Chains A and B, each alone.
Chain A
Amino acid sequence: MAEETPWQQALRHANRANPYPFYAELRKTPVARQPDGTYVVSTYREIVQLLHDNRVSSDPRNLPVPVAAPAEGSAESGAEPITEAVISLEPNIITCDPPEHDRDRRMMTPHFFGPPHAPHLIADLEPEIRRIVDGLLDNMKGKTRIDAVDDFAYPLPVTVICKVLGVPLEDEPRFHGWIETALDALDFGPEAGSEQMVSRLEGARQAVKDFEQFAAELLDRYAKQPGPGMLSAMVNEDGAEGRMSKGVLASNALLLIFAGHETTVNLIAHSVLTLLRHPDALEKLRRRPELIVPGVEELLRFESSVQFWHTRSALEDIEIAGTTIPKGAPIFLAYGSANRDPQRFANPDELDLERPDNEHLGFSQGIHYCFGAPLARLEVQVAVGEFIRRVQNPRLVVDPPPYRHNQIFRGPRHVLVDIDGIRD
């Protein structure tokens, strides 16, 4: 059996807590062809170049193997991991190219943070975010041990995204379950073909279907009876360019619920974990709270919420870093590696809350730059800032903590912290 490539090793679950040494190895070949024909790009310069290259498609329908969901019951074990990984939905803004992408994103933006509808929407959420964070910290009073994921990182983004989108919070346990099931089944590494993963995939397909139906029903309800939030607005209001079709709208709703759910949770959890591992940085942030803004950027660089993205492919032969990515080849852009690229960041494995010129790829770049970035930034700044201010003498109990299975949305499953108390 051939030796595993650095990329394959980085993707093994056993290495989830620390994939960085494998990334370092990977960067020796900035554009590395994998045994399955995927081209993994791991260096900052090259990733940025491809993010701004209009010969790179984000539409999974351009991937070499047809990715329509296999018929019910056909297990398809041993199929190409990419095929298995991409679950068929109508295109949403992250899985389509211009001009459709541009139009759909333009239709969504005014309802989220753009003028004329919602220029202050995100800024105005700050008091509410503070209330939620305060409530979560108040709940820890009297405890000596907390789970920074379940007790803190998870509830905030979920509550906020439900409010912004207009998703009933009481439905949260249902879609939380679907998301967990789907994510746990997504594997891009050598373990993808294992029996365990193949069996998970069946459940994942069903979960996505249920989730899709949930979104469609919610949108139907809003079509009949408009309500609060972005989804209702998108169903009911025509912009200059009309309205999205029902299917596309449902797919984008799914994306927003999902993306607003997972990435911020992992970022808050990773921020707490990282700061507890770097007491000097924690102390600095306690003394100089204004550093929370550049500090969160550094935490985003240090532990990217999205480690790589997997739906891109080459529409032409693309020559880059001495390699030609052939037309049709899948391209994985490894943001987590780019953010530790010593060619771009001095001492990348050091946490520097005041790092100058920190143009990290934690939110990607180019036309698919994270739609929710302004909201995520605000949530994490408030959450991490208040955690540091109010939690007394926090200490990590288990290090490294257990990690979720998924590689893209890498994050700790639990972060147990012993504490002395909660300040007011």
Chain B
Amino acid sequence: MTVAATLAELVRDFRANGRIVIVGASLAGLRGAEALRAEGFTGPLTIIGDEPYEPYDRPPLSKQVLKGWVPADHTALPRLRALDAQWRLGVAATGLDRATKHVLLADGEQVPYDRLLIATGTRARPWPNPDEAALEGVYTLRSRDDAAGLQRALAARPSRVLVIGAGFIGSEAASVCRDLDIPVTVAERGSAPLVGALGGVIGEIAAQMQRDHGVDLRCGVGVSSLEGDAGGHVRRAHLSDGTTVAADVVLASLGSIRNVEWLEGSGLAAGFWGVGCDAGGRAFDINGVATDSVYVAGDVARAPHVLYEYQFLAMEHWDNAVLGAQAAAHNMVNLEPHYRPNLLLPGFWSGQFGVNIKSVGVPPFGDEIVFTQGSVKDRRFAAAYGRRGRIVAAVTFNHGRWLEYYGRLIQESAPFPPPPPGWDRPDDMKPMPADFPEPGVPTAVPDVVLTGHDPNERRAEFRPRR
């Protein structure tokens, strides 16, 4: 038998009899499972999820669900094909033994695998003080239950809502409050809303939008503590500028934490930053070597992107979950010359204050911005981000139909500023600094050390700071 024939036989056999386990039962996990079946994988497939629910869609949670248009339990993701999978819902994975190829579950069971797809995503960063976080009326917004709880709280018409953090989730929630005519205060440590994702120039526009809609927006301040009443219900917050905000609902929208704790000790390059992997979704071990049995997709994956100087990007975007999972699934059941990368141009959208915000590329990678179409005054415009004379991202406000044009320019590494549009030119087309905050110093980053003397025997070791 030739080598090629042997390899083909191996692939056939794996597709028929291999055991695949997916940890994470959300968008990436579901689409990954579907893609495996579409790729011809017929072996046993197990999907593990710590939530008791079937995979559901998250974008509506901070919009339609909060507003009360759609019940939180009506957001199940459509199934695109029959899966014939074993679902283990409501039980968390707690460990990974790569030597024996087993996933350890919270109920003590061990699930064997031949190939593993990690799609555990992220969770909401809770309010740091546990006592204050436990007060009634304090919420985060990431899961279906979060959304259902916050929706009920809003439907009860609180006297004031305090939103801590003006990223996308916080801004969308503030927008919903205003739509429901509920007074809302937004406290943001940065100089403006959305500043981390879109920079200060766009942040200023977003700030004005919030104020125009009656949001009590306070930038450059943090929340020092939350205070409850005798019944344990949150009543007020103390801000770092010495002021106090009376609020009976508090939403902590402080970003996300990657669900990697269960991988501790697995020897994978997993930590604070996510799980490192190559563009094809193959997880790296802690030494930076690609594994051949563990794959990663979705929010928890962090892969180099060719368009962004091979920087490792974690993209918490809907289509990255889908396309990353599909690429990983393809690679899980194919051999090397047929591997496929996930070279998605990142993109996201958000709806707030009557404006549809869409973006393509990686705005924070840019340092300059130029308005290319439309009118800032009308909240209907496109702007491009540049870095060293090359367009790297674009954002649109109520102008999403042009995103594809900018996407193509980014893909082609077109010059910045981009060619002028034929019509609908803004008054001012001069590039200016995009005004992103300096990259913050991450806190509590675990340390990795090298051990061993002989260079060939050197290995990395994970030593988290306690």
Contact = CB atoms under 8 A, between A and B. Distances in A.
Interface residues of A, number: 16
A371 to B, nearest CB: 13
Nearest to B422: A315
Interface string B377-418: 010100000000000000000000110110010000000000
A120 B288 CA distance: 55
A328 to B, nearest CB: 11
B405 A99 contact: no
A57 B405 CA distance: 14
A54 B422 contact: yes
Interface string A84-122: 000000000000011100100000000000000000000
Contact of B422 (A49, A55, A99): A55
B402 A97 contact: no
B422 A57 contact: yes
Contacts of A138: none
A324 to B, nearest CB: 13
B310 interface: no
Nearest to A365: B404
Contacts of A102: 380
Interface in B413-428: 419-424
A349 interface: no
A54 B408 contact: no
A57 B422 CA distance: 7
A367 B405 CA distance: 12
A52 interface: yes
A99 B380 contact: yes
Nearest to B374: A99
B37 to A, nearest CB: 15
Q: How large is the interface on B (under 10, 10 to 19, 20 to 34, 35 or more residues)?
A: 10 to 19
A316 interface: yes
A316 B374 contact: no
A78 interface: no
Interface string B165-178: 00000000000000
Nearest to B375: A99
A53 B412 CA distance: 14
B395 to A, nearest CB: 15
Contacts of B374: 98-99
Contacts of B405: 52-54
Contacts of B420: 55, 316
Contacts of A99: 374-375, 378, 380, 424
B360 to A, nearest CB: 12
A366 interface: yes
Contacts of B380: 99, 102
A285 interface: no
A384 to B, nearest CB: 25
A52 B402 contact: yes
Nearest to A314: B422
B373 interface: yes
B421 A54 contact: yes
Interface string B103-146: 00000000000000000000000000000000000000000000
Contacts of B404: 52, 366
B194 to A, nearest CB: 23
Interface string A334-367: 0000000000000000000000000000000011
A97 B424 contact: yes
Given A99-B374, A99-B375, A366 B401 contact: yes
A54 B375 contact: no
Contact of A56 (B378, B408, B422, B424): B422
A315 B402 contact: no
B422 A97 contact: yes
Contacts of B421: 54-55
A316 B424 contact: no
Contact of A55 (B401, B408, B419): B419
A54 B409 CA distance: 12
B401 A367 contact: yes
Nearest to B425: A54
Nearest to A50: B405
Interface string B356-387: 00000000000000000111001010000000
B145 to A, nearest CB: 29
B245 to A, nearest CB: 33
A97 B419 contact: no
A56 B422 CA distance: 7
A181 B272 CA distance: 70
A314 B423 CA distance: 11
A338 to B, nearest CB: 16
| Centre residue among B378, B404, B422, B424 by max chain A CB count within 10 A | B422
B312 to A, nearest CB: 30
B424 A98 contact: yes
Contacts of A314: 422
Given A97-B424, A99-B424, A316 B419 contact: yes
Contacts of B422: 54-57, 97, 314-316
Contacts of A57: 422-423
A102 B424 CA distance: 10
Contacts of A54: 373, 402, 405, 421-424
A49 B408 contact: yes
Interface string A356-388: 000000000011000000000000000000000
A361 to B, nearest CB: 14
Contacts of A315: 422-423
B192 to A, nearest CB: 26
A99 B422 CA distance: 12
Interface string B284-306: 00000000000000000000000
A54 B423 CA distance: 7
A338 B139 CA distance: 51
Contacts of A56: 422
Contacts of A316: 419-420, 422
Contacts of B401: 52, 366-367
A52 B408 contact: yes
Nearest to B354: A240
B419 A98 contact: no
A6 B401 CA distance: 33
Nearest to A96: B423
B64 to A, nearest CB: 13
A315 B373 CA distance: 15
Nearest to A98: B424
Nearest to A54: B421
A53 B402 CA distance: 8
A30 to B, nearest CB: 16
A49 B409 CA distance: 10
Contacts of A53: 405
Interface in B254-276: none
A102 B408 CA distance: 22
A98 B404 CA distance: 16
B423 A98 contact: yes
B224 to A, nearest CB: 41
A54 B402 CA distance: 8
Nearest to B405: A52
| Centre residue among A56, A57, A102, A316 by max chain B CB count within 10 A | A102
13 contacts: A49-B408, A52-B404, A52-B405, A54-B373, A54-B424, A55-B420, A55-B421, A97-B422, A97-B423, A98-B373, A99-B378, A314-B422, A366-B404
Given A55-B420, A55-B421, 4 more contacts: A52-B404, A52-B405, A97-B422, A98-B374
List of 4 A-B pairs having minimum Cβ-Cβ separation, nearest first: A315-B422, A54-B421, A52-B404, A52-B405
